[in-house]
Structure 1
Amino acid sequence: MSNFSIGEALVTALEKRGVTHVFGIPGVHTVELYRGLNGSGIRHITPRHEQGAGFMADGYCRASGKPGVAFTITGPGLTNILTPMGQALADSIPLLVISSTNEARYLKKGLGHLHELPDQKALVEQVAGFSAQIEESRDLYPALDEAFRRLETGRPGPVHIQVPLDVFGQVFQDQASTCPKSSAPLPDQTLIAQAAEHLSKARNPVLIAGGGAKEAENSLRLLAEKLDAPVVQTINARGLLHDHPLRIPASPSLRAVQELLAGADLVLAIGTELGPTDFDIYNTGRLPRFNRLIRIDIDGDQPSRCTAELKIQASAKQAIPALTDALPSSCHVDNRNGGATKAASVISTARAELSPAYLEMVEMIETIRDHLPGSVIVGDSTQPIYAANLFYGHDNSRGWFNSSVGFGTLGYAIPAAIGAAFAEADKQIICITGDGGAQFTLPELMTATEHQLPITFMIWNNSGYQEIADAMRQQDIPPVGCDPAPPDFSLIAQACRIPYEQIKASCPDLKDYLDRRKGQKGPALLEIKP
């Protein structure tokens, strides 16, 4: 190890911590990292823009359950990846960004060096829960240990490590690397016992599952069945308990779901921040009312942001089994709550709240799910995704995610779908993006071509930002700036060497297309005209 540079040692340390994929664009400011990659077991994927690197790492993480890792250069490379970091922060996605920075002796001096920022670390700290600078060999392992501790425990999110140019190439001084395994805080057993007592006495309980419940699907099922309680799913929880009679794959912003929550005598919220992009998507200023609320969340600060009778800091993976075990065995005997009947009624009423146009879009996505079971559907901020976020149940817990809420970025779906394809090599990946959002990251199509990834890129082409235009009209504002001309997507596909078809937005046409796609390898581009 003594002949290694710090850059090489960093890559070796990542490999020891289980990193298998890195997304990044090499530059003269990161060459020492790439010296370390050569000959390592880490696969490097080159996007066409650093924003793409961040979104690919995000999609890889959501599909695999492992932290996503991205490399970027100083200055513009880092500023380009800030938007993906913002999305990861909003959606609690563990993302590690490693960047260079200018030579340590020149930092914060404004001397006009290439890629210089006044204070790069301070900038990235706005979208990262942790940022460390490596000054010398002895800083490397502690920084990585703390980064992975934050990635693997507590509320996950983006973290950052930067290395000055004059430090990257320094000879690494051997040190012991323990790669300590981090562990999440155990739930307070007194609070678990109190929560179990409250739930055992509730006559009409309801569960809310957020993205934090994804790691505890089997435990969540057992708890719901023991309580006979309907399970409302936030957007990031879709796919949990697929087709289970207690699950409600409908937005808590819909009136039917809000009435269910208001009528519950006790609500148990698991792994959700109860934020407005799930619970008040129409921006009415009225969040759901809870008669009594118990919260389970890995983030110690999160439960205190909403009035709750009990606040349990723990992961869903640890808290739900403990809570289920603490419930009296008689809880499940009398089936007192009629949970399945209530769930079915809410599902029917919530679906009826969708507009005819939104209902058609939901049916389109249900067609994809039913024709390609077990697939991964990655979405952008576009009308079909808005519709399905209101009402849609996917068939696997890591198969539905998008950027239309939380930070709400555009341009997410194409690179995130590529990241998901590297994580799930044997699954069909479906990317759903609008013609406007697609134009943010169209160059990343070549990454899919280069690696012959099994992605169907579906572009919903309504010739502009129609959802924004509709919002303007609703507020008596004549639409302005909402009609950017889309390119000829057939020529884009041809340039990227991707098979292309165009269909009308109808389920029969889509079924025919999906049947033709079965068994075909590599990417394809489907343009859908509303």
Structure 2
Amino acid sequence: MTTVGIRLVEGLIARGIDTVFGIPGVHTIELYRGLAAAGERIRHVTPRHEQGAGFMADGYARVSGKPAAAFVITGPGLTNTLTAMAQAKADSVPMLVISGLGRSDTLGKGLGRLHELPDQGAMVATLCHTETVTDPKKLGDVLDRAFAAMTSGRPGPAHIQISTNMMAQPCPELPPPVVAGSTVPLPLGRIRSIAAALNAAERVVILAGGGIRGSEIHLQKLAESLDAPVIQTVNARGAMFRHRLSVPASPSLTPVRQFIADADQILAIGTELGPTDYDMYANGRVPNLSDMIRIDICADQLARHPAKMPVKAEAGAMMAALLPMTIRANREGPERAEALRQAARAELANLYEPMPAQLDMVEAIRDAMPNSIIVGDSTQPIYAANLYYDHDRPRGWFNAATGYGALGYGPGAAVGAAIAAPGVPVVCLIGDGGLQFSPGELRTAVDEKLPITYVVWNNAGFREIAEALRQAKIEPILGCDPSPLDMEHFAMACDMLYACVPQDPDELADMLATPQDGPRLLEIQVR
């Protein structure tokens, strides 16, 4: 008999899913029957915590550009995954979470059954699209709607839940998938008006966000045509590595804000203008952007900030349409961009004296391991680099220190990234505090024999938070000094190579250049 669980896995494969991250349980046994039947057509990876399953799916999607799936049990399995789903929602990452559900004849009755929740679907619906399989004949429709929700317009997570008694029901063969998504028509009249406004300006500035991922070549060509510096948020870094018009700096920095304020035309592309990029220090000094031209795939986003010319459009298509209408002119873009790069980098020391040295360590990683993927957690060098850092690979720099800001993101996301890009070196840069949120995921990296280097910034506590408390004139005596792991013995327990590296860029680079076989842990003991 071919069951719903088997057909579900077949439906995932038909829609391009090749990897599932999950922990089997009594509420997902029939889904695992489907995985077993699929054999080598789909890969299963076992995290050590359901939150890790979600973070792995997130890292996989960011690097590959396509969704991955997570299988979790009902109740605690799903609630553990919600944090990762919220991170994916904040950063527009497609992720499909498929969870079990109690027997359909017991739902909502409060019988005290294993893993019971009052209304699991309603809980998830506050965050993202959710579906319940109630009829085997409609399983294909459920999958089509979930994939459309994940990938049409602004990407994000989606959820499907299936009762344990439904998973084992006979299920007919699924129809071919409906192609998710539809092309957003380009407003030709508005394009001409936008091109005219850009051509008439003398100091054009482009604000690029994560919505430009996959369209880096269009961004570069449009910037060159307009001779316009491109300020990139965290999720756009790597789009224009060392390009003469690239400004890989946060709009929260004072020189960048002044540069934006001095522009006579702003073109914002695929950026939600969120505070963790544009007002990191919550001082409310964001320049007035109401005269901007704004391109975004999401109508809700466009409605959240006033703009002179808001356009709902896919970023790459819109930039390609604008390009032949723009007039090449000398606006001294490279000179303006270079001056801003120097001012922005110099600003780091004014904010916090150790920041330039922290940035040096991140750049040492990039230069020692070119074309690698750096996955970050909320730790001091990540915060410094989010303010100013240029990466050498599109989709190669991402972290959870913006947006939702889930601590412990890095270890799992690095596993997903490494699986999505076989053979590409992956670095997880994480603090000693963040590592203790999800240490078990390093064992998954060992099981999967992944070339991940875990660089642990060990400052023996939550020093970033301690500094924030001091700035608020609060003595950080409570909660900021949790004892760190003994990293050498922890690495030994994980069967990983270990080395202790001083806070010196050259010595870190030398250690990173050493060939590796499988994952390793490098500890930087911060002075």
**TM-score w.r.t. length of structure 1:** 0.96
Contact kept? 2:139, 2:174, Cα under 8 Å = no
Whole-Å separation in 2 of the counterparts to 1:29 and 1:502:
43
Q: Does 1:412 align with 2:409?
A: yes
- Matches of residues 25-424 of structure 1 in structure 2 within 5 Å? 25-40=23-38, 41-128=41-128, 130-290=129-289, 292-327=291-326, 331-332=327-328, 334-335=329-330, 337-355=331-349, 356-424=353-421
Question: For residues 175 and 459 of structure 1, do their structure 2 counterparts lie closer, same or farther at Cα, with a shift above 3 Å needed?
Answer: closer
From 519, 524, 527, the equivalent of 2:523 is: 527
1:513 positional shift: 0.8
For 1:300, give the aligned amino acid: A
1:175 positional shift: 4.7
Aligned partner of residue 301 in structure 1, secondary structure: helix
Contact kept? 2:14, 2:177, Cα under 8 Å = no
Contact kept? 2:96, 2:159, Cα under 8 Å = yes
1:1-45: CA deviation from partner (whole Å, max 9, x where unpaired): xx3101110100000111110100001110111111114211000
Aligned partner of residue 455 in structure 2, secondary structure: strand
1:141-200: CA deviation from partner (whole Å, max 9, x where unpaired): 111111111222211111101011111110003453343242241222222121111111
Question: For residues 409 and 301 of structure 1, do their structure 2 counterparts lie closer, same or farther at Cα, with a shift above 3 Å needed?
Answer: same
Aligned partner of residue 394 in structure 1, secondary structure: coil
Whole-Å separation in 1 of the counterparts to 2:407 and 2:300:
29
Contact kept? 1:265, 1:291, Cα under 8 Å = no
Question: For residues 180 and 286 of structure 1, do their structure 2 counterparts lie closer, same or farther at Cα, with a shift above 3 Å needed?
Answer: same
Query: RMSD across aligned C-alpha pairs, in angstroms?
Result: 1.1
Q: Please name the residue that 1:433 is paired with.
A: 430
Contact kept? 1:215, 1:316, Cα under 8 Å = no
Whole-Å separation in 2 of the counterparts to 1:84 and 1:291:
33
1:289 positional shift: 2.3
Whole-Å separation in 2 of the counterparts to 1:463 and 1:376:
26
Contact kept? 1:240, 1:396, Cα under 8 Å = yes
* Aligned residue pair count: 520
For 1:420, give the aligned amino acid: A
1:403 positional shift: 0.3
For 1:213, give the aligned amino acid: I
Contact kept? 1:264, 1:290, Cα under 8 Å = no
From 438, 442, 451, the equivalent of 1:445 is: 442
Q: Please name the residue that 2:505 is paired with.
A: 507
Contact kept? 1:55, 1:415, Cα under 8 Å = yes
1:326-367: CA deviation from partner (whole Å, max 9, x where unpaired): 33xxx11x41x1011000000000100012311011111111
For 2:418, give the aligned amino acid: A
Contact kept? 1:153, 1:184, Cα under 8 Å = no
Aligned partner of residue 104 in structure 1, secondary structure: coil
1:434-477: CA deviation from partner (whole Å, max 9, x where unpaired): 00000011111111111111000000000000111111111111
**TM-score w.r.t. length of structure 2:** 0.97
1:209 positional shift: 0.6
Contact kept? 1:154, 1:184, Cα under 8 Å = no
Greater CA drift, 409-418 or 169-178? 169-178
Aligned partner of residue 244 in structure 1, secondary structure: coil
1:201-233: CA deviation from partner (whole Å, max 9, x where unpaired): 111111011000111111111110110000000
For 1:384, give the aligned amino acid: P
Residue identity (%): 49
1:287 positional shift: 1.9
Whole-Å separation in 1 of the counterparts to 2:407 and 2:290:
37
* Long gaps (5+) in structure 2: none
Question: For residues 410 and 175 of structure 1, do their structure 2 counterparts lie closer, same or farther at Cα, with a shift above 3 Å needed?
Answer: closer
